[in-house]
Amino acid sequence: MKIITAKTATEASARAFDIVNELMRRDQLQVMGLATGSTPLDLYKQICESNLDFSRCTSVNLDEYVGLKPTDPQSYHYFMQEHLFNAKPFKESFFPDGTNPDAGEVTRKYDRILAQHPIDLQILGIGRNGHIGFNEPGTLFDSHTHRVALTASTINANARFFENPDEVPRYAYTMGIASIMAAKRIILLAFGDAKAEAIRQTVNGPVTLEVPGSVLQRHPDVTVVLDEAAAGRL
């Protein structure tokens, strides 16, 4: 694992942008794996403000809530439109189909998409408990796309975005750990004190199912990009 630490999240995101920019310059970024959440927002902003052109590239997203339409403001599809695709459209952008409750059909279809579009660079955030995508602790390392029941803490955290508690998604489709590890290169972004322990365990801890991020120690090309706070326990 290569570790890059910068003083602030914006400076760290600029280092991540440099990697994206270099891969694009070398025409080595045909398929980009994208994350949602707050962590990648600064990187996406810098991409939007750049002269990079993704119109010949494909994107695949890590996860999507079950039961939300792509037009629902709370969906990850909408999140990506707002924060990246409106300014930087890709040739094609794939998400697990959150509108289809048939988990077997959705996951098989998404695994086929991932097999047909090998990921050149996967952008990752990480949860406080070390989850990557929606792969919570205990997820098997050989997992592919699957449906997960969201934890109570995730449901509660999301509830603030919904009028009616019944509308809060209880499930999500997520790329599995094996899907993520199949990427040629991975950038793991983490900012803030709240991620310092997850980063410590991910980078220096034992490789264990209890810390999904720790599996990245087994990947040949991972760059961990941190601000000082998230690097605080390394």
By the criterion CB under 6 A, which residues form the site for ligand F6P? 35-39, 62-63, 125-127, 133-134, 154
Q: How far is the CB of 189 from ligand F6P (least distance, A)?
A: 8
Of 98 and 125, CB closest to ligand F6P: 125
Q: How far is the CB of 125 from ligand F6P (least distance, A)?
A: 3
> Of 11, 129, 167, 219, which residue is the catalytic one?
129
Active site residue 129: yes
Of 90 and 191, CB closest to ligand F6P: 191
Between CA 60 and CA 76 the distance in angstroms is: 12
Q: How far is the CB of 37 from ligand F6P (least distance, A)?
A: 3
Active site residue 100: no
Residue position matching structure tokens 């010949």? 56
Q: How far is the CB of 51 from ligand F6P (least distance, A)?
A: 26
Active site residue 131: yes
Residue position matching structure tokens 């994206």? 20
Between CA 72 and CA 76 the distance in angstroms is: 9
Active site residue 144: no
Of 106 and 126, CB closest to ligand F6P: 126
Q: Among all residues, which ones are annotated catalytic?
A: 63, 129, 131, 136
